[in-house]
Structure 1
């Protein structure tokens, strides 16, 4: 079942309609209706709030979340003291159009598919918080030529504010994407963020901080030629 089907089933079981759910979450019933139609998808934080209101779990709502008996095999995290074990998550950050995963963040229930054992001396050049690093694969062409499909990006998941401007992995309401972010000047709340591609064929767009969920800032990449 898709997320929208799981959401509808959970709402029916709880006897809650779009208006009631929207009121409980502090959003409009139209926003809930868009989830139910599959036009948009809530962020990971919002998913947890929905599950709490409906008396269910994140796993029950999320179509792609692995159940306890179908979880991805967890490879060993052991690494010598000279190395860091960095998890790679089996999701794709889209740098262009196409099928997008519904997961917002590796912290939202997704288990690592693999661990990369990387020398600590090498990682220290990218981050001083190695336990907050993660690796995700890139797809699409909107960030070409800097980021190609198949590249792996190293993200610092402790850096979740779009400042300073840079390349981030984020959930933009439609999928997990790799984009350049910068805050739009101004004092209005919530702050707006400009979301940009490197490939000039793709237009920039703006969303508020409330409408996105930033997974982390890109601090490195591996490219295959």
Structure 2
């Protein structure tokens, strides 16, 4: 199902069950405005696989009714092919959040991933752009992002703020406030409310040229 149809279907299901979008957002571990933004503003552009599955089970419908189901990874005899997405995580002023398309894969040992406590089906790889996370992350580095990031904790995350996708070190200021920190001291921290950002995932690995 295309994303626009999935948004309409989710709203139809919520209305039919008499449950609010904010309640559904909290059920999947997101901030209260998450699904409202998904339906009304198109951000995120599609539901994460884990969230889509949780919602489908709650409503008792096929997961495909809430978005196009794609193979997240491929088992290659003890190795897992994790998708590389075209969306860039900006370590700079901000990268426009365009469509996320798979353009290749990175192969990891299934045993290694699981020894790190990672599930292959919640992982994707994206390229870092900009210099705000130097020296930790450099322009052109690829990072492995785990969409199974709950509970929220400090560390490097990929977030969507307004129409920009950013990779920043996340600091928790309080129950509803966070700060997005750049490792490069030339960039000032960004303080914002949890309801102003969408956490895409936690960065768990990096790779790049020497």
Task: Say whether residues 1:166 and 2:155 are aligned partners.
Answer: yes
What TM-score do the two structures reach when normalised by structure 1? 0.60
Task: Say whether residues 1:213 and 2:209 are aligned partners.
Answer: no
Structure 2: which 5+ residue stretches go unaligned?
1-20, 23-32, 47-69
Look up the match of 2:87: 91
CA deviation vs aligned residue, 1:28-63 (integer Å, no higher than 9, x gap): xxxxxxxxxxxxxxx9845532179xxxxx69xxxx
Distance across 2 between alignment mates of 1:195 and 1:219? 17
Look up the match of 1:4: none
Shift of 1:121: 2.5
User: What RMSD in Å do the two structures reach over aligned CA positions?
Assistant: 3.0
What TM-score do the two structures reach when normalised by structure 2? 0.64
Query: Which of 121, 130, 138 is 2:128 aligned to?
Result: 138
Distance across 2 between alignment mates of 1:126 and 1:137? 21
SS in 1 for 2:40: helix
SS in 2 for 1:124: helix
Structure 1: which 5+ residue stretches go unaligned?
1-24, 27-42, 53-57, 60-73, 104-108
Larger Rg: 1
Look up the match of 2:165: 176
Alignment coverage as a number of residue pairs: 155
Task: Say whether residues 1:148 and 2:144 are aligned partners.
Answer: no
Q: 1:197 to 1:81 in 2, by over 3 A?
A: same
Shift of 1:78: 4.1
Query: Does the CA-based 8 Å contact 2:113-2:119 persist in structure 1?
Result: no
SS in 1 for 2:86: strand
Query: Does the CA-based 8 Å contact 1:161-1:214 persist in structure 2?
Result: no
Distance across 2 between alignment mates of 1:217 and 1:78? 21
Query: Does the CA-based 8 Å contact 1:93-1:138 persist in structure 2?
Result: yes
